[in-house]
Chains A and B, each alone.
Chain A
Amino acid sequence: MGPPLLLASILALTVVAQALLPSYRLLLTLGGAALSCAVAALTGVGTTRAIFADVPWDVMILLVGLGFLAELLVATRVFGVIAAAVTRWSRGEPRRVLVLFAVAMYAVSGLVNNLTALLLVLPILLILLKLLGVGQRYLAWTLGVLLVACNLGGAATPIGDFPAILLLGRRVMTFQGYLWAAAPPTVVALAALLVVVMVRVRPERGLVREPVATRLSLAVMGALYRKVRLSWRLFLPTAACLLAMLGAWVWVPPSSGVGPELIGWLGVGLALAVLPRTGERVIRAKMDVEAVLFLLSLFVMVSAVRQSGVFDSIGRGLTSLPVPSVIQLVLFLLLAGILTGLFSAGPSMAALLDVAASLAARLSPTAVYVGLALSVCAGSSLFLTAATSGPMTQILTERADLRDPLGAPVRFGFFDFLPVGLLSFALIQTVAIVYALLLVAGSLF
């Protein structure tokens, strides 16, 4: 077995192992990264220094910085205020609860990473569902749609989730280029999903609603948030820095040498410095070390494989398939969706971005990269285990100990999510392919 195949096998095996044994995820990926470095060094593929030099540190800086910004936003209580308002607007009606929370989750996920968005909004929804007393079917569809909305929101903006951040950090797309290209199809996909769920699935069917229970639920929610207000002292400087960063991402040209990662670093640094007490606390206690180490390990493995030339070979193989380029693109997007469903977004995106470059050289780069981000979003929505937010939702739901109106426990597990996942995957993947083909067609004329 030659070094390229050996390094690719280490990457593949590690990705499979961490998917099968999520409780040992960090141990496995860090071990896989170390093994990759050792094999690369011993076979002459590249030194550890060279592999680390190839790690996209700008992406890591963006990820860490945006994580800090999300924590600052959490401290402002803005998301709690939004979720409480959404609860009021829902009036405790199941259909409105599903739609409004899905839209809110989509919006929040566009600003902060999916896991943070979920941890902010889900507990409030779970309390409302507990107060209302909902059935198994309604719970599965509501939480399922919420997770998919979270994935779509993350894919809608260049700072919402890792795949988009990677595109921004690698400078294969500009901030505004990604935003204008990716936000519309995610809105279309969310609207399509909500229409199908509300018109065809009707998850609220069979629920027995009591006006007293609804009244009590809303009264309790109102009391729990009776005096929770936005902290303007924290919100104003944080929002000002975020707006300044958005402006800089849009208007500062890449030719100036100031890239998106530097804008993120400076902007988040300023926000933390303006609020020194909160800022220091956030830096010391709130960094998501797990996510950073996981992604760093993936980047190291991918870098080793890249240096061995495997991705170039796959790219050449894909582009030399005896089918038109657009069919190659469709096959690539389908492959991205399925791989993400099996192995999650981080590994898929990190590995496939290099292969995408070969397609982007011949087709519209926007079509290839936005199609890839949407396909990764479709894959993240396929299984409950495909994205980190899925198991987290399962854990939070179990802790909430929800019960139906007859007192029987209701759950949210892998198979409860599966119908939502299959429907969402089909819808988002279709939108991804159709949209990418439209962009390709548009670039031709």
Chain B
Amino acid sequence: MSRLGPAVASAFHVAAGELGMCSAAWLFVREVAAEGGEPLVSELRDLLGRAYPVLDAVAGRWLEGSREPKVGPDSVLAACEGASRLLVVGIEAMFLDALLPKLGQTRATLLAHSSFPVDWERVVANHERRLETVELSSLHRLAGRRSALLTFLYGTRGESTWVDPAWLRVMGADVRTQFRSIVGWDVLGSVMYLYPRWLSEAPASDFSHLVRA
């Protein structure tokens, strides 16, 4: 009998919404491994992998021996150099925790738009005075030659990459010219082998900088 009850699925859904798919996946894999080792990680992968392909990929990396994600934000900082404002599309708590304290004078703003239920006030409260939110309708106010746009990627394959669906609401031919740099931060660092549910495909050419974890 499985030691992972059905409630684990709804727990992951909550975590994925507010922490981000990749951050939630690493959290779950780490906690499950601490409780039951690799056999329980395999069980978690079997139970939730199809519904959450990012979790499947992270569990796969854990089983291959990787124990933590690479969250070094230096390449992202380099890609955003010269920007006084950074607009972030999508949430990845582990990566934002690493990036935001190093932004210096650059003001970071998070797009408050998600297909998951999110308490945006709580998200911002985790980044005291370093992060604010913006609605989709007010996005144009943040554009400018000193503004950079950042989103998280979940693997790239050839000319394709997978992003938070909110990215498709933001990105367009007119947007490309309104930001000094458009940065894609590949937080997964591997390719998903399952149907990328919850994510959308976007061309890698959307981005002026592709940063790989």
- CB-CB under 8 A from B40, the residues of chain A are 212
Closest CB in chain B relative to A41 CB, distance in Å: 48
Residue from the set B3, B19, B35 with the largest chain A CB neighbour count within 10 Å: B35
Name the one of B19, B32, B125 contacting A77, with C-beta atoms under 8 angstroms.
B125
Whether, in the assembled complex, A276 has its beta carbon less than 8 Å from a beta carbon of chain B, the answer is no
- CB-CB under 8 A from A403, the residues of chain B are 6-7, 10
Q: Beta-carbon contacts of B28-51 to A below 8 Å, as 1s and 0s?
A: 100110111000100000000000
Are A208's CB and B5's CB within 8 A?
yes
Are B119's CB and A123's CB within 8 A?
yes
Are B122's CB and A210's CB within 8 A?
no
Whether, in the assembled complex, A322 has its beta carbon less than 8 Å from a beta carbon of chain B, the answer is no
Which chain A residue shows the least CB distance to B130?
A: A227
Name the one of B15, B32, B97 contacting A220, with C-beta atoms under 8 angstroms.
B15
CA distance A220 to B32 in the complex (A): 12
Q: Given A223-B19, A227-B97, A229-B128: A216 and B8 within 8 A (CB)?
A: yes
Q: Beta-carbon contacts of A107-137 to B below 8 Å, as 1s and 0s?
A: 0000000000000000100010011110000
Are A227's CB and B128's CB within 8 A?
yes
Are B15's CB and A223's CB within 8 A?
yes
- CB-CB under 8 A from B24, the residues of chain A are 220
Whether, in the assembled complex, B93 has its beta carbon less than 8 Å from a beta carbon of chain A, the answer is yes
CA distance A123 to B11 in the complex (A): 15
- CB-CB under 8 A from A361, the residues of chain B are none
Residue from the set A208, A212, A215, A407 with the largest chain B CB neighbour count within 10 Å: A212
Q: Given A229-B128, A405-B5: A212 and B32 within 8 A (CB)?
A: yes
Which chain B residue shows the least CB distance to A403?
A: B10
Name the one of A130, A213, A399 contacting B5, with C-beta atoms under 8 angstroms.
A213
Q: Given A211-B35, A212-B32: A127 and B14 within 8 A (CB)?
A: yes
Whether, in the assembled complex, A331 has its beta carbon less than 8 Å from a beta carbon of chain B, the answer is no
Are B125's CB and A213's CB within 8 A?
no
Are A133's CB and B27's CB within 8 A?
no
Whether, in the assembled complex, B4 has its beta carbon less than 8 Å from a beta carbon of chain A, the answer is yes
Whether, in the assembled complex, B177 has its beta carbon less than 8 Å from a beta carbon of chain A, the answer is no
Which chain B residue shows the least CB distance to A131?
A: B11
Whether, in the assembled complex, A224 has its beta carbon less than 8 Å from a beta carbon of chain B, the answer is yes
- Of residues 89 to 133 in B, which have CB atoms within 8 Å of A's CB atoms? 93, 97, 117, 119, 122, 125-128
Q: Given A223-B27, A228-B125: A213 and B8 within 8 A (CB)?
A: yes
Closest CB in chain A relative to B90 CB, distance in Å: 17
CA distance A270 to B125 in the complex (A): 25
- Of residues 52 to 105 in A, which have CB atoms within 8 Å of B's CB atoms? 77, 80
Are A212's CB and B36's CB within 8 A?
yes
Whether, in the assembled complex, B164 has its beta carbon less than 8 Å from a beta carbon of chain A, the answer is no
CA distance A212 to B11 in the complex (A): 12
CA distance A228 to B97 in the complex (A): 12
Number of A residues near B (Cβ < 8 Å) is 31
- CB-CB under 8 A from B122, the residues of chain A are 80, 224-225, 228
Are B31's CB and A215's CB within 8 A?
yes
CA distance A434 to B34 in the complex (A): 54
Which chain B residue shows the least CB distance to A218?
A: B31
Which chain B residue shows the least CB distance to A228?
A: B125
CA distance A228 to B35 in the complex (A): 27
Are A227's CB and B7's CB within 8 A?
no
Residue from the set B7, B15, B23 with the largest chain A CB neighbour count within 10 Å: B7
- CB-CB under 8 A from A215, the residues of chain B are 31, 34-35
Closest CB in chain A relative to B100 CB, distance in Å: 10
Q: Beta-carbon contacts of A394-409 to B below 8 Å, as 1s and 0s?
A: 0000010001011100
Name the one of A212, A219, A224, A227 contacting B18, with C-beta atoms under 8 angstroms.
A224
Are B19's CB and A224's CB within 8 A?
yes
CA distance A211 to B6 in the complex (A): 13
- CB-CB under 8 A from A224, the residues of chain B are 15, 18-19, 122
- CB-CB under 8 A from A366, the residues of chain B are none
Closest CB in chain B relative to A404 CB, distance in Å: 8
Are A131's CB and B10's CB within 8 A?
yes
- CB-CB under 8 A from A127, the residues of chain B are 14
Which chain A residue shows the least CB distance to B30?
A: A219
- CB-CB under 8 A from B36, the residues of chain A are 212
CA distance A256 to B193 in the complex (A): 77
CA distance A228 to B127 in the complex (A): 8
CA distance A405 to B1 in the complex (A): 14
Name the one of B28, B125, B128 contacting A216, with C-beta atoms under 8 angstroms.
B28
- CB-CB under 8 A from B14, the residues of chain A are 127, 130-131, 220
Q: Given A208-B5, A212-B35: A219 and B127 within 8 A (CB)?
A: no
Q: Given A127-B14, A224-B19: A133 and B7 within 8 A (CB)?
A: yes
CA distance A216 to B44 in the complex (A): 12
Question: Could you show 12 A-B contacts with beta carbons less than 8 Å apart?
Answer: A77-B125, A123-B119, A130-B10, A133-B6, A133-B10, A210-B3, A213-B4, A215-B31, A225-B122, A226-B93, A227-B127, A405-B6
Q: A131-B11, A213-B7, A215-B31 are in contact. List 7 more A-B contacts (CB 8 A).
A: A133-B6, A133-B10, A212-B32, A213-B8, A223-B19, A227-B128, A229-B128
